């Protein structure tokens, strides 16, 4: 088993599927469904996310987002996924593995969001359980990190159900909704999943 990915190795295409869900990178044809779900969920998501750019829900803003995603994947820096219900291809939310570090670290950080109509129904827990083996296996990561605002009890539960261990608290860690906020820090090792 290789411990380190060589820079010349192109990242593998990832589209994990299981337990009634499909996770795959976003594409331009996803824009209408993505924009509609994000707009409908704006009030629900605002307390937990950075301030949205003014053009966030425009077609041109989405196109720029996709270009950045393509660059990040090609450079092995980040891997975005949209979460779809397999039975009817309804968009439920998204997960991004970002801040991928190689060499002696072999780690990345996940962030995620779920549309308001689908919150509290177990979709995000299921999506992470489908995705995590691919991040450890195909991407050869050793560690996956996550952070969430302490008052976001739903997010804390998702991470704990997926096996993440709370490792600490970072003061004013991320600027969320325009305010520097403390975050719980979580970590999951490939050994924790037996990968």
Query: Would you state the pLDDT for residue 184?
Result: 98
Query: Would you state the pLDDT for residue 177?
Result: 92
DSSP 124: H
- The domain ranges of the chain are 17-142
Query: Would you state the pLDDT for residue 125?
Result: 98
Dihedral sign computed on CA atoms, order 122, 195, 163, 83: negative
Write out pLDDT tens, residues 99-153.
999 999 999 999 999 999 999 999 999 999 999 999 999 999 999 999 999 999 9
Q: Which residues of the chain have pLDDT under 50?
A: 1-8
Query: Would you state the pLDDT for residue 14?
Result: 85
Please state the φ and ψ torsions of residue 173, each to the nearest 5 degrees: -75, -45
Query: Would you state the pLDDT for residue 7?
Result: 45
- CATH class of the domain comprising 17-142: alpha beta
The closest of 142, 139, 149, 146 to 172, measured between CA atoms, is 149
Q: pTM for this structure?
A: 0.90
CA atoms lying within 13 Å on the CB side of residue 11: 22
10 Å Cβ neighbour count for 52?
Answer: 14
Query: Would you state the pLDDT for residue 8?
Result: 44
Query: Would you state the pLDDT for residue 39?
Result: 96
Query: Would you state the pLDDT for residue 169?
Result: 97
Query: Would you state the pLDDT for residue 11?
Result: 54
């Amino acid at each position: 088993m290789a411990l380190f990915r060589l820079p010349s190795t192109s990242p593998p295409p990832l589209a994990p599927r299981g337990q009634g869900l499909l996770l795959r990178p976003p594409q331009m044809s996803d824009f209408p469904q993505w924009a509609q779900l994000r707009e409908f969920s704006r009030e629900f998501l605002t307390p937990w996310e950075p301030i949205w750019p003014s053009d966030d829900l425009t077609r041109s803003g989405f196109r720029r987002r996709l270009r950045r995603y393509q660059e990040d994947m090609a450079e092995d820096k980040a891997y975005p996924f949209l979460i779809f219900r397999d039975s009817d291809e309804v968009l439920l939310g998204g997960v991004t593995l970002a801040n991928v570090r190689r060499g002696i670290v072999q780690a990345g950080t996940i962030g995620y969001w779920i549309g308001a109509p689908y919150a509290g129904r177990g979709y995000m827990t299921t999506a992470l359980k489908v995705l995590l083996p691919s991040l450890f296996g195909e991407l050869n990561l050793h560690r996956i990190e996550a952070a969430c605002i302490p008052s976001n009890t739903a997010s804390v539960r998702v991470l704990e159900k997926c096996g993440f261990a709370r490792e600490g608290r970072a003061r004013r860690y991320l600027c969320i909704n325009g305010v520097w906020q403390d975050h719980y820090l979580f970590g999951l090792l490939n050994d924790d999943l037996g990968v």
